[in-house]
Structure 1
Amino acid sequence: MRRKLIIGNWKMNGSPQSVTALAEDLSSGVNNLMLGSVDAVVCPPSVYTAAVVELLAGTSIQVGAQNVCAEALESGAFTGEVSAQMFAQLGCKFGLVGHSERREYYGESDAVVATKCAHLLAQNITPVLCVGESLAQRDAGDALDVVSGQVAAIIEVIGIAQFLSVVVAYEPVWAIGTGRTASPQQAQEVHAAIRQCVAGYDSVTAERMQILYGGSVKGANAAELFAMEDIDGALVGGAALDAEEFCVICKSAE
């Protein structure tokens, strides 16, 4: 039985005051839920990572990174970047890679995403591999091929043995921050295709791996999504900035 995993991506939001308030509200809210089969993670902006790790110390909520340097594992002359080793030293347990915003705005290729995965794995940080199709690709009937191709591109670089330690997050690009959500059936179809793609390399890894859905997940639609056989949780965007809403999503996964 795969555990459910809920990850909140705070993106480029927050101030020292609002981040402190959000972390404190989540600390009490999630702990009060006494979740037994659900893991909760938040990914704050990197400038707040250390503070959030400290604020959530002793709680059940883990902390992740939104991005990681591809050019170097530990340190180097890469102004503005943060390495996997630095995030590990801060206490991060997860790291987002391949988010559609990184792919679109910063031109990150599958090769770059694979390197980032490898760096995180080398520091015992779980990569959360984001994959998804554009609206044009979906309308053309290419969604399953696009997403499976993105997954396969990473497996071909890091190997199927390491992929067992990777979480996949399916985020249809057309549903991120738009208020549109893939129907549970649409999401399930893609999640099943991802699992089938991985099964082509190793059936045990395919069965054990967690596949999350992301794209305008809210408390109102979470339970219906989580009822699908191959949806093992969510990568939450806007709703993750609301402690009460995030807690509702976590509870829906129980």
Structure 2
Amino acid sequence: MLKPIIIANWKLNGNKVLVNKFIKKINNDYEKYFKKSTVIISPPMIYIEYMKKFMKNLKLSFAAQNVDYNYQGAFTGEISTYMIQEIGAKYIILGHSERRKHHFENNSLIAKKFYCTKINNLIPILCIGETENEKKSGLTENILTKQIDKIFLICGKNAFHNTLIAYEPIWAIGTGNNASPILINRTLKFIKNYIIFKSENTDIKFYMQYGGSVSTENIKDIICQKNVDGVLIGSGSLNYKNFLEMIKISSKN
């Protein structure tokens, strides 16, 4: 996978006007800027197939923002891995703090979704992170390992092979108060070493992202850290000018 890896999580934002604007501008800028990175866009799911259709000659990838661990059946409102594959997405964002908070998703449920994603040949983007109170109490590593351990328990030692892991401290998301580059690098190093230790495999391949108030002002200092393979950008990715600038900055490191 080409690094840096830039993920744009649109969350519950966007409409066809925004989608068409992005398609037109990416088509114009792709050869010059986008080919130097792995760019993954995660719009609301109903727009993925539409965007992919009009950018079909590009190697841009798409991520769903959620999935159900059931393959089919009487599960009103849910989306399966098969459906996500059909609309052309390759990745699925799992464990985002907003899903944990607003939809009461716990580590066990996220691990089930992770397992379903992996066995159906899609790539998880697993979000993990701690709250401000947990950070102040010195519980960051404890919280992160609990979130990781449940994946190992359900999915086995090779769970994290070919996976993206996004450290998103909850206290930084949408606050404009991103973690310092030194803290980001130290935390990602801890996560990486812990996964290698639990996997008992030094050759396991996975990729480390940072997310949480990433902007044009701080992305250069974040992306140059040794343990950072890329970033997960939230609301900052909705403005195409800012998004493109972050891609440009990232690609120079």
The verdict on a shared fold, with TM-score over 0.5 as the criterion, is yes
Aligned to 1:164: 161
- The one-letter amino acid paired with 1:42 is I
SS of the residue corresponding to residue 217 of structure 2 reads: helix
Aligned to 2:202: 204
Aligned to 1:53: 52
Aligned to 1:135: 132
Q: What is the number of residues matched between the two proteins?
A: 250
The CA deviation string for residues 130-172 of structure 1, in whole angstroms up to 9 with x for no partner, is 0000000001111122112211221221112231121100000
Out of 151, 169, 179, the residue aligned to residue 182 of structure 1 is 179
**Aligned-partner Cα distance in 1 for 2:203–2:88:** 26
SS of the residue corresponding to residue 95 of structure 1 reads: strand
Q: Does 1:14 align with 2:14?
A: yes
Check the 8 A contact 1:84/1:119 in 2, yes or no: yes
SS of the residue corresponding to residue 161 of structure 1 reads: coil
SS of the residue corresponding to residue 175 of structure 1 reads: coil
User: Deviation of residue 241 (structure 1)?
Assistant: 0.6
Aligned to 1:26: 26
**Aligned-partner Cα distance in 1 for 2:151–2:11:** 23
Out of 243, 248, 253, the residue aligned to residue 251 of structure 1 is 248
- The one-letter amino acid paired with 2:202 is V
Aligned to 1:42: 41
User: Deviation of residue 55 (structure 1)?
Assistant: 2.4
Out of 221, 226, 231, the residue aligned to residue 228 of structure 2 is 231
User: Deviation of residue 2 (structure 1)?
Assistant: 7.3
User: Deviation of residue 219 (structure 1)?
Assistant: 1.7
**Aligned-partner Cα distance in 1 for 2:17–2:120:** 30
SS of the residue corresponding to residue 179 of structure 1 reads: coil
| 1:71-110 matches, cutoff 5 A | 72-73=70-71, 75-110=72-107
SS of the residue corresponding to residue 188 of structure 1 reads: helix
| 1:208-223 matches, cutoff 5 A | 208-223=205-220
SS of the residue corresponding to residue 220 of structure 1 reads: coil
**Aligned-partner Cα distance in 2 for 1:85–1:160:** 25
Q: Which runs of 5+ in 1 are unaligned?
A: none
- The one-letter amino acid paired with 1:204 is T
SS of the residue corresponding to residue 68 of structure 2 reads: coil
- The one-letter amino acid paired with 1:3 is K
- The one-letter amino acid paired with 1:209 is F
User: Deviation of residue 123 (structure 1)?
Assistant: 2.2
TM-score by length of 1: 0.93
User: Deviation of residue 248 (structure 1)?
Assistant: 1.9
- The one-letter amino acid paired with 1:12 is L
**Aligned-partner Cα distance in 2 for 1:142–1:190:** 12
User: Deviation of residue 203 (structure 1)?
Assistant: 4.0
Check the 8 A contact 2:177/2:213 in 1, yes or no: yes
The CA deviation string for residues 18-47 of structure 1, in whole angstroms up to 9 with x for no partner, is 2221232233234321533x2000001012
The 1:18/1:121 distance shift into structure 2, 3 A limit, reads same
Check the 8 A contact 2:236/2:242 in 1, yes or no: yes
Identity of aligned residues (%): 29
Check the 8 A contact 1:10/1:241 in 2, yes or no: yes
Superposition CA RMSD, Å: 1.6
RCO comparison, higher one (Cα < 8 Å, 6+): 1
Which is richer in helix? 1
SS of the residue corresponding to residue 129 of structure 1 reads: strand
User: Deviation of residue 205 (structure 1)?
Assistant: 4.8
Check the 8 A contact 1:35/1:251 in 2, yes or no: no
The 1:192/1:149 distance shift into structure 2, 3 A limit, reads same
**Aligned-partner Cα distance in 2 for 1:26–1:160:** 39
- The one-letter amino acid paired with 2:124 is P
Check the 8 A contact 2:2/2:38 in 1, yes or no: no
